[in-house]
Structure 1
């Protein structure tokens, strides 16, 4: 099916509808967002003498909803200007405009009668061949298209986005009885390639895949809480980052999503799945019923499992709901000996064996929760999906799990998982025993860099489809490894391109990582054509190893510190001035040194969700790995005839001085960190390494020439330095910055001005690097800088002193 999506209509502008509209705007699609006309005037409209015929009144609901969405945090939009791609209207005056779009997405209230009425009205204006889909989270798809035309039904299906649409990757596609196969194929590919989603074709069963398994997991925890006498804090501690789940874990997630939403989906499963072997588990526990009666829905109602209150001291405090008394109390810390055993285990997948072996209440909790989960997912095949990998994909993309149930089971071991199931009085589906009898002892395997899964119908291992567009580093690392040290692994990506993958904690950049980067460049220059620096961890890099810097500074090993900073600078310059093209592939947090590395690559292929910035001010120093130099150089390259050059330089100075971090890769263009016409953004992070490799290969084949080192950086000397110093003086006098903030800012000013030169001059990059390194080292001798570094190491938060 050859179709180009240039314009979509989103019907319904609530939280979900506005979020979907924003995400289509994110990827460059024109959006028509429609909602109903208000039935009556509000007080403000009455005061202005408006009537229900005025356009501003008729579009009030849709405009208010979109405005509210755009103000929300985290933002649903990559860049504020992208909101201009959305046009608003109402379902009476503007419904005929759906005849001009390529795809209509219905996101109205979850009532079948209302949805059918909306579809009836839409069909009067929809042109044949237009895609039309529903974002329902639970209403059977086959009910919604009843009575519609043949063309409507052939182009109709469910497309279930998860909230928030920008951030959660799951995109469930649910066919109707007459949906054309090519429509499903198109939507599957479009979701992956353009929307950046994990597309999963699901069956038309209650709650589809993600919510069926996700709500089961939550409901089983709700029932286990009382049985194991666990507190809200303890459950959230056990079900958060330690097992690769979001920080919001279980109860905080329910507060954010809304207890009413969870109750609605759980009740729907309970009513519509009478043959589910765990049917009774979807019955709401008493404490949930009480909360629902009290309208304690979570964030939207001001209280749920947690409640924020003002304390007598004038600050605020988060209280926790005691599930025994149903009263709020102060939060308690949650500690378990089993969790302590996993503190030195960096990879989440390696923790599960330890967790289920725990001798305390935590171990009991994990054995119980994994036992019932493993049993449940086996019985959902083929009910909700024919392929087990789709269940894992749905849980990872829709609920933010790092690993799906079958992947966790593989980590624990097939026999151990069966033991946990048996201990809970449950039984796995018969196909698991068939698999084991055939001598297959895992649900997944890796062969020739590709992932295979056990196909229940074929009774053999089958290649997971759609991998050809991806490079999965976990799959190629063992067979394509070229070099390894404690900080990096270098892999051969094929076609003459190497990849340097950070392996340090939080991907911090220390001596081992720098040595690995240099080795990668050496190998690429000798035997390959290009180099990618990329990884598939949660974050690209949180920056330099400040623990190492702190130790050197405290011990006053300034010569060693000088050498370490110079090695960082020299490595960044090698990234820029090597004989082969270098491509950085940042994603997630890319801070400090990670940002500096990106600044020095020949090209950046950034994931859309990249939060990048030079944040060294937070630990009392200036960027010392070439970042300060690079901002001065980029300001110089930006100077145009008749520019007020001081103002241009000031923008780059403030990017560092205010420790600005982009909230998306697109915002990084505004900060001068990414460069338009040179650096690119990919929406689907899974495609990032493959895309970076393609660009490195293209640059090499186009005849890459080693660049000549720059000696033409225009610096403004005393003219700029004076302006900056006056500015920092007034900021300190106004108590906007501390004395130490001023000292750091003045050091940065000196570097970016090129020193106190008497007139505008042209200098080399190395001249600026030497100024930068000197300023960095001098700040490392300051007690207040050491306090800032120590505080960051202890708490993970910046100190203002």
Structure 2
């Protein structure tokens, strides 16, 4: 069954977020909640005010639940008293009401009377077993019912845990899982009907263990987060920062709910605590970021904002410090270096990991048939870089077993099975995992998934250098991968692009197309600023200009290549990373791609053709107002304000993406979609025709300069902003040209290059570059 419409019941933070993300997939969705008592009493007339208010709130929320504000139009507010019958038309109903079995049971009975036959009903519960939810319901309802456990916020967290029961139709599970995968972009993990399912079962244990050990060992919250954060491949929030993020008041609720259903003897029962400090913090409103603060808070001192942290022993706030632990530094040499370090950070890491990883090992196959589902759930649900069994491989299964024996603890059966082995291995170019029986099985990707990591595992690159690699992804398509830090761009990247172009030739031989893609957190943050600053500081002006011209020529060659070049970005694509996308024949972007030309933040303008391409797109836009000035003004605003699209959908509004460019919701499917697009284009590909522009020249520049001066008078632009904007205005207006002269791309590129070189010699630009490298933030000088 294809899901074409949906409904969510429960307009709280989670329910409304689920509705928003269904709308992000282009699916119309009803959002229903109760009729408030004051409305029933006649003190209001909007019976759907709860759902309507939730939608309005989401339009103001940051980070935004909607990928584009227009998606809110797909969400129809309603209430369960008046609008339940409307659900007779929908294919999928999500229940996201309060975690009260009686409330859910009553709602299910009402839904079963109005829903259409074969429609799927799911609960977003994270604490109530499925067998309890369907108790007393009809057989028909049980066949169409399952659990779909989203993680908050639903747009950004990729994990979806799906739990089915013995009576659930296989078609219902398949239909919903496929929809969640392809349309919602979720990593779907099939879970067993066990307490906490997978991610929260292990995640709750991890949080409790990490908090307990920090308090027992006398660590500060900053020290604890420094150890259990990045050194373990866990987000830098660590554990205390994570609790602040989700809400300290939520933790006792989750823990108590879990304790109600956990089997006797579960190790979590042995470590559960409710420290008096935490109880007091919750009572006083210190529940985390949503409250007055949590383990961390921002406070004002002497007119400045100061970050403070709670002292775990006294409960008093103090200025937060930057922890200095030798064990954290040692972790750069591997996880074993961390846990074997003699300082308190090493002891802490060892205690947390030994308990956590043995707990995870003891839960397979109880909560999942194999280890892959457990690792995927923790990577996607908690943003861990490595799942528990990948962490065990880093430490060694035998090392962990010996550590448990040394502490007099039982060794889980699966860990005994792994003796002398690893949980993952590569065999004949294929990734394999250890089964519960002790053998190895291939990790099989879903149909339509192509990962560059699998390509890399199976062979060697066609070519590589210090900053990029070129891979054969099959069917005559090559893939260019950036490999530098943050995928920054430099001359090595340009050299490999040119080499790839020479290899593919006219696209009529063995090679047909090129895809530009990588699996880093970010596609590219632009030029390597460290190298640029080095060249600027020693006044290597010819080298700087050569780098700019090299980038311009390389990107232009990509644009006019006789074969299609398709970019497949995800995450940030900024500066030069955005400019390469602008020059590709097509882009297949992950939905969570954040594109922008942000060069003004470091005191320059786009120098690799970004100004030229954005101006050309604005000029050729058939929807623009008439006259030469609107496209110039539009491009000037986009670049001078360093606008960044907060989704691929928004990138279309800003013209970073064209209407013909594609969007892929599931990142795992991005490379396959881009390859398919490249092959489709290659069938009869012809490069675009060159475009010439007529620009107004000094008159347009004067108008733009006047506008910037107005912003400066209002305090919205700094002196160097004015300098940079003036240079940008000169380029976009065509320099000293007039409307009767046609300018080709090379002339526009020369204007870009000249303006860039003038700005990069400015001491204020150098200060901006240095500040960005030091702090990661723009300098307002």
Matched residue, 2:557: 574
Which structure 2 residues correspond to residues 487-498 of structure 1 after superposition, within 5 A?
A: 487-498=467-478
Q: Equivalent residues in 2 for 1:650-669 (5 A)?
A: 650-669=633-652
CA distance in 2: counterparts of 1:560 and 1:308, whole angstroms:
45
How far off is 1:65 after superposition? 2.0
The residue number in structure 2 matching 1:453 is 433
The answer to whether the 8 A contact 2:694-2:738 is kept is no
- Between the aligned partners of 1:239 and 1:568, the Cα distance in structure 2 is 41
**How far apart are 1:197 and its partner, in Å?**
0.6
Residue in 2 that maps onto 1:297: 287
> Which secondary structure does the structure 2 equivalent of 1:168 belong to?
coil
Aligned positions of 1:73-92 closer than 5 A: 73-92=62-81
Identify which of 630, 636, 657 aligns with 2:619.
Answer: 636
- CA distance in structure 2 between the partners assigned to 1:16 and 1:170 by the alignment: 14
Q: Deviation per CA, 1:443-490, whole angstroms, max 9, x where unpaired?
A: 112345543211214x32112233442222222214142111111121
Q: Secondary structure at the match of 1:317?
A: strand
CA distance in 1, matches of 2:686, 2:714: 51
Picking from 670, 687, 694, the partner of 1:688 is 670
Give the Å deviation of 1:371.
Answer: 1.1
- The Cα RMSD (Å) is 1.9
**1:56-67 aligned within 5 A:** 56=46, 58-67=47-56
Equivalent residue, structure 2, for 1:394: 377
CA deviation string 1:331-370 (max 9, x = no partner): 122121232345xx5xxxx732332343322222222221
For 2:715 and 2:6, the matched residues in 1 are separated by 50
> What CA deviation, in whole Å up to 9, does each residue of 1:595-614 have, x standing for no partner?
00111111111111111100
Structure 1 residues 467 and 131, CA, compared in 2 at 3 Å: closer, same or farther? closer
2:298 corresponds in structure 1 to 308
Which segment drifts farther, 175-184 or 737-746?
Answer: 175-184
* Pair 1:195 & 2:184 matched: yes
TM superposition shift of 1:403: 0.9
Distance 1:248 1:707, change over 3 A: same
Alpha carbons of 1:685 and 1:195: their partners in 2 closer, same or farther (altered >3 Å)?
same
Report the counterpart of residue 698 of structure 2 in structure 1: 718
Aligned counterparts, 1:587-606, within 5 A: 587-606=570-589
Q: Distance in 1 between matches of 2:741 and 2:337?
A: 62
Matched residue, 2:23: 25
Match of 1:168 among 157, 166, 182: 157
The yes-or-no answer on 1:288 pairing with 2:278 is: yes
Q: Secondary structure at the match of 2:440?
A: strand
Shift of 1:697: 1.3
- The residue aligned with 2:741 is 761
Deviations 1:670-702 (A, max 9, x none): 1111111x21111101111111111111111x2
> Which consecutive unaligned segments of at least 5 residues does structure 2 have?
none
Q: What is the correspondence of 1:294-693 to structure 2 with a 5 Å cutoff?
A: 294-311=284-301, 313-342=302-331, 351-436=334-419, 441-447=421-427, 449-457=429-437, 459-478=438-457, 479-525=459-505, 527-638=510-621, 643-676=626-659, 678-693=660-675
Name the CA distance, whole Å, in 2 between partners of 1:603 and 1:244: 34
Residue 629 of structure 1 aligns to a residue in which SS?
Answer: helix
Q: Give 1:217 shift.
A: 0.5
Contact 2:417 2:436 in 1 (8 A): no
Q: Structure 1 residue 275 and structure 2 residue 275: aligned?
A: no
199-208 or 516-525, which deviates more:
516-525
Question: Following TM superposition, by how much is the alpha carbon of 1:118 offset from its aligned partner in structure 2, in angstroms?
Answer: 1.0
**Cα deviations across residues 242-281 of structure 1 (Å, max 9, x unaligned)?**
4322232211211121122221111222232223134211
Cα displacement string for residues 595-647 of structure 1 (whole angstroms, at most 9, x for unaligned residues): 00111111111111111100000000000111111122112212679614312
The counterpart of 2:42, out of the listed 51, 67, 89, is 51
Q: Is the 1:207–1:265 contact (alpha carbons within 8 Å) kept by the matching residues of 2?
A: no
- For 1:205, which of 194, 197, 207 is the aligned residue? 194
Match of 1:219 among 200, 208, 224: 208
Q: Work out whether residues 539 and 589 of structure 1, in 8 Å CA contact, stay in contact via their aligned partners in 2.
A: yes
Q: 1:417 to 1:722 in 2, by over 3 A?
A: same
Distance of 2:591 and 2:341 partners within structure 1: 40
Structure 2 vs 1, CA of residues 450 and 155 (structure 1 numbering), >3 Å: closer, same or farther?
Answer: farther
In the aligned structure 2, how far is the partner of 1:623 from the partner of 1:713? Answer: 18
Cα distance in 2 between the residues matched to 1:70 and 1:423: 55
99-108 or 723-732: bigger deviation: 723-732
Q: Secondary structure at the match of 1:299?
A: coil
Q: Distance in 2 between matches of 1:640 and 1:433?
A: 67
* CA–CA distance in structure 2, aligned partners of residues 220 and 640 of structure 1: 58
Q: In 1, are the aligned partners of 2:214 and 2:348 still within 8 Å (CA)? A: no
How far did residue 52 of structure 1 move?
5.1
Write the distance in 2 (CA, Å) between the matches of 1:74 and 1:687: 24
- Kept in 2, the 8 Å contact 1:719–1:759? The answer is no
Tell me, in whole angstroms, the C-alpha distance in 2 between the residues paired with 1:575 and 1:358. 50
Output the CA distance in 2 between the equivalents of 1:22 and 1:337. 45
Aligned match for 2:121, one of 120, 127, 132: 132
- Given that 1:371 and 1:424 are in contact with CA atoms closer than 8 Å, whether structure 2 keeps it comes out as no
Report if the CA contact (8 A) 2:2-2:175 is conserved.
Answer: no
The answer as to 2:688 corresponding to 1:703 is no
The answer for the alignment partner of 1:158 in structure 2 is 147
How many angstroms apart in 1 are the aligned matches of 2:292 and 2:489?
Answer: 42
Indicate the SS of the match to 2:290: helix
Structure 1 window deviating more from structure 2 (118-127 vs 779-788): it is 118-127
SS at match of 1:501: strand
Q: Where do 4+ consecutive residues of structure 1 move more than 4 Å?
A: 639-642
Q: Contact 1:544 / 1:592 at 8 angstroms: preserved in 2?
A: yes
1:210-234 superposed Cα distances (whole Å, 9 cap, x missing partner): 1000000001001101222111111
Out of 85, 91, 99, the position equivalent to 1:102 is 91
Call closer, same or farther: CA 1:338–1:513 in 2, change over 3 Å.
farther
Any idea what SS the aligned residue of 2:307 has?
strand
Equivalent pairs, count: 776
Given that residues 471 and 690 in structure 1 are in contact (C-alpha distance below 8 angstroms), is that contact kept between their aligned partners in structure 2? yes
Q: Residues 489, 291 of structure 1: CA spacing in aligned structure 2 closer, same or farther, 3 A cutoff?
A: same
Q: Which moved more, 1:512-521 or 1:415-424?
A: 415-424
User: Structure 2 CA distance, aligned partners of 1:687 and 1:22?
Assistant: 22
Shift of 1:527: 4.3
CA contact (8 A) 2:67 2:647 kept: yes
Q: Is the 8 A contact 1:132 1:157 kept in 2?
A: yes
- Give the match for residue 232 of structure 1: 221
Q: Equivalent residue of 1:230, what SS?
A: coil
The answer to which of 614-623 and 690-699 deviates more is 690-699
Runs of 5+ unmatched residues, structure 1: 43-49
| Alpha-carbon distance in structure 2 between the residues aligned to 1:463 and 1:40 | 59
When residues 640 and 157 of structure 1 are mapped into structure 2, their CA distance, relative to the original with a 3 A threshold, is closer
